[in-house]
């Protein structure tokens, strides 16, 4: 069963595994995570756990939770999804929910759930834009001490195509 | 004739946490069959999910009966949620927004009422709760 000899820390491997399962990708230091469609607790809890692992392992600057595939949300599945966002926020990532569908929005309004605390964007692209770091102007130094002129912080070379892709039809 | 009748009605026993999914898919299928648009199908499915989740979470088991309803000049869908649990002690309170009996967000009953056109609930302490909600298709 074990084809490849494990050479990397367990957390990173687990994060990769979850990333594959839940479709999480990093773009330019921002993690894009696709929320599962469905009202069952289990996939949503797995999504929470996967997101938590991945954010902790990868320390992304921000997280875009793509909810565009979610067609149905009731109050308890919404709570699980919102909790996923709060978990990532507690780890220090800025979180944006992207792509709520009109049917979902209308259901959530009817259910009167509290959506005030959510930062939202129309699309993943808009979400990524919201999470773009402020331009390193003079005097506007980040207290975190990150070198604004430096190259991309190490490691994250796999998917750093930040430029707009040519969209195939 | 039994067949055409049963295709307009669906009983979903609620015993396992995953039975919620059965209720939701049945609701979507029937709502589509009734001619509801996609957004309304989703709203009805959401209401059904709220009711099913209540039963599974607070009572543990119960039943849902979903059926198409016809009246002269209009048709729609009816959702009946039944359980034989402890009942809801304070119905007025349960119908209030943001009412909650613990860690969850509440019973979601005001939401169900808003989504559906008609809503009635009957609950006797110690005997159970019966909830009927109807939604009519806009012509």
Condensed to tens digits (0 to 9), the pLDDT of residues A72-86 reads 999 889 999 999 999
Q: Which of B118, B110, B111 is nearest to B77 (CA)?
A: B118
Average model confidence (pLDDT) across chain B: 87
Q: What is the pLDDT of residue A12?
A: 56
Q: Which residues of A touch B (CB under 8 A)?
A: 38-41, 71-77, 79, 102-104, 106-107, 110-113
Q: What is the pLDDT of residue B3?
A: 43
CB pairs under 8 A between A and B: 63
Confidence of residue A113 (pLDDT cuts 50, 70, 90): confident
Residue A162 near residue A125, CB atoms below 8 Å? no
Residue A143 has pLDDT above 60, yes or no: no
Residue A154, by phi and psi: left (phi above 0), alpha (psi -120 to 50) or beta? beta
Q: What is the pLDDT of residue B2?
A: 41
Is this structure's pTM higher than 0.90?
Answer: no
Q: Which residues of B72-110 are buried (b: 16+ CB within 10 A; e: fewer)?
A: eeeebbbbbbbbebebbeeeeebbeeebeeeeebbbbbb
CB contact under 8 A, B43 and A79: no
pLDDT digit string, tens, across residues A19-75 = 555 678 888 899 999 999 877 888 999 999 999 999 999 999 999 999 999 989 998
> Which of A71, A73, A79, A110 to mutate to probe the B interface, most B CBs <10 Å?
A110
Greatest mean pLDDT range, A34-43, A74-83, A91-100, A103-112: A91-100
Q: What is the pLDDT of residue A145?
A: 46
β-pairing, A120-121 with A94-98?
parallel
In this structure, the number of other CB atoms found within 10 A of the CB of residue A51 comes to 27
Tell me what the mean pLDDT of segment A4-14 comes to: 54
Between B99 and B4, whose confidence is greater?
B99
CB contact under 8 A, B38 and A103: yes
Between A111 and B66, whose confidence is greater?
B66
Chain A residues closer than 8 Å to B37 by CB: none
Residue A9 has pLDDT above 70, yes or no: no
User: Residue A71's closest chain B neighbor by CA?
Assistant: B42
Q: What is the pLDDT of residue A119?
A: 96
> Lowest-confidence range among B5-9, B27-31, B80-84, B105-109?
B105-109
Confidence of residue B93 (pLDDT cuts 50, 70, 90): confident
ipTM of the predicted structure? 0.76
Q: What is the pLDDT of residue A78?
A: 93
Chain A residues closer than 8 Å to B56 by CB: none
Q: Kindly report the nearest CA distance between residue B2 and chain A, in angstroms.
A: 32
CB contact under 8 A, A74 and B108: yes
Beta strand segments in B17-115, E? 62-71, 74-83
CB contact under 8 A, B24 and A111: no
Of B21, B45, B57, the CB nearest to A40: B21
Residue B35 near residue B100, CB atoms below 8 Å? no
CB contact under 8 A, B108 and A73: no
Q: What is the pLDDT of residue A150?
A: 46
Of A41, A107, A112, the CB nearest to B42: A107
């Amino acid at each position: 069963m074990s084809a490849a000899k494990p050479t990397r820390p367990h957390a990173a491997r687990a994060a990769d595994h979850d990333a594959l399962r839940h479709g999480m990708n990093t773009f330019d230091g921002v993690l894009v995570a696709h929320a599962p469609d469905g009202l069952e607790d289990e996939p949503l809890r797995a999504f929470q756990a996967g997101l938590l692992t991945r954010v902790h392992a990868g320390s992304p600057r921000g997280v875009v939770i793509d909810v565009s595939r979610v067609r149905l949300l009731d109050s308890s599945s919404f709570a699980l999804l919102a909790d996923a966002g709060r978990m990532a926020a507690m780890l220090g990532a800025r979180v944006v929910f992207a792509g709520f569908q009109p049917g979902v929005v209308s259901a959530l309004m009817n259910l009167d759930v509290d959506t005030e605390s959510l930062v939202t964007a129309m699309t993943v692209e808009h979400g990524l834009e919201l999470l773009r770091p402020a331009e390193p102007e003079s005097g506007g130094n980040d207290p975190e001490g990150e070198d604004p002129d430096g190259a991309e912080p190490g490691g994250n070379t796999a998917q750093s195509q930040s430029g707009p892709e040519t969209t195939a039809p | 004739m039994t067949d055409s009748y049963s295709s307009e009605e669906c009983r979903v026993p609620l015993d396992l946490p995953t039975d919620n999914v059965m209720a939701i898919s049945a609701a979507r299928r029937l709502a589509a069959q009734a001619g509801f648009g996609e957004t309304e199908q989703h709203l009805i499915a959401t209401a059904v999910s709220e009711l099913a989740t209540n039963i599974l979470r607070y009572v543990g088991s119960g039943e849902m009966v979903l059926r198409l309803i016809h009246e002269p000049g209009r048709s729609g869908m009816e959702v009946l949620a039944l359980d034989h649990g402890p009942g809801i002690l304070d119905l007025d309170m349960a119908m209030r927004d943001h009412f909650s009996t613990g860690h969850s967000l509440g019973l979601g009953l005001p939401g169900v009422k808003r989504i559906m056109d008609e809503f009635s609930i009957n609950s006797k302490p110690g005997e159970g709760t019966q909830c009927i909600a109807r939604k009519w298709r806009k012509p």
